[in-house]
């Protein structure tokens, strides 16, 4: 099904989902997560594209692309969320809703994870629902 285009953007270290600290991040691989997001998009009428990068500049370019095309974004900017003002500035240029997602419950973890510089420019933040958070974000964007 083709519908409104939504970008799901995953940042640094999330390509290692599945093998990376599974007690914290679960056993779903990034490939499986991407398939889950595309499938959820099909269910709710969104054309979902999932990308992952370990390169902050590349993520900034993708956010510029989303700003220019008016695409909503689901963003897990991983560790960058906690300190990257460059990413925040890119997010604040977005022209459609932005849902920030964290797989783990960041507020129950180390203190440095309690702050997100992205949250202040996000429409909503979902944290601690595991990969279900991405599905909830997409369902919201389809409303
Ligand atoms: C994360 C939480 C971040 O603190 C961490 O650096 C990540 C993943 C999450 O999805 O739970 O890489 O964004």
Spatial separation of the C-alpha atoms in residues 92 and 71, rounded to whole Å: 13
- pLDDT value for 3: 80
Spatial separation of the C-alpha atoms in residues 3 and 104, rounded to whole Å: 29
* pTM to 2 decimal places: 0.98
- Write the pLDDT tens digit of every residue in 67-86: 999 999 999 999 999 999 99
| 3-state class (DSSP) for residue 47 | strand
- Write the pLDDT tens digit of every residue in 44-57: 999 999 999 999 99
Instruction: Please provide the DSSP assignment of 83-97 as one string.
Output: T-HHHHHHHTT-SS-
Domains of the chain: which residue ranges? 4-142
Q: Is the CB of 108 under 6 A from ligand 1?
A: no
The average pLDDT across 58-71 equals 98
- Write the pLDDT tens digit of every residue in 4-42: 999 999 999 999 999 999 999 999 999 999 999 999 999
Q: Is the CB of 106 under 6 A from ligand 1?
A: yes
Architecture of domain 4-142: 3-Layer(aba) Sandwich (3.40)
Spatial separation of the C-alpha atoms in residues 63 and 57, rounded to whole Å: 10
- pLDDT value for 2: 63
- C-alpha 4: how far from its chain's center? 17
Mutate to test the pocket of ligand 1, among 15, 19, 76 (most ligand atoms within 8 A of CB): 76
């Amino acid at each position: 099904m083709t519908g409104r285009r939504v970008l799901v953007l995953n940042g640094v270290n999330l390509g290692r989902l599945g093998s990376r600290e599974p007690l914290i991040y679960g056993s779903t691989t990034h490939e499986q997560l991407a398939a889950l997001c595309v499938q959820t998009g099909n269910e709710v009428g969104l054309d979902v594209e999932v990308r992952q990068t370990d390169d902050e500049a590349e993520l900034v370019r993708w956010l510029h692309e989303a700003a220019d095309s008016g695409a909503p974004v689901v963003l897990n900017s991983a560790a960058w969320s906690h300190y990257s003002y460059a990413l925040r500035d890119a997010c604040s240029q977005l022209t459609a809703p932005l849902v920030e997602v964290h797989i783990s419950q960041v507020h129950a973890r180390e203190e440095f994870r309690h702050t997100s510089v992205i949250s202040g420019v996000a429409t909503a933040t979902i944290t601690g629902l595991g990969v279900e958070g991405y599905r909830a974000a997409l369902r919201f964007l389809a409303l």
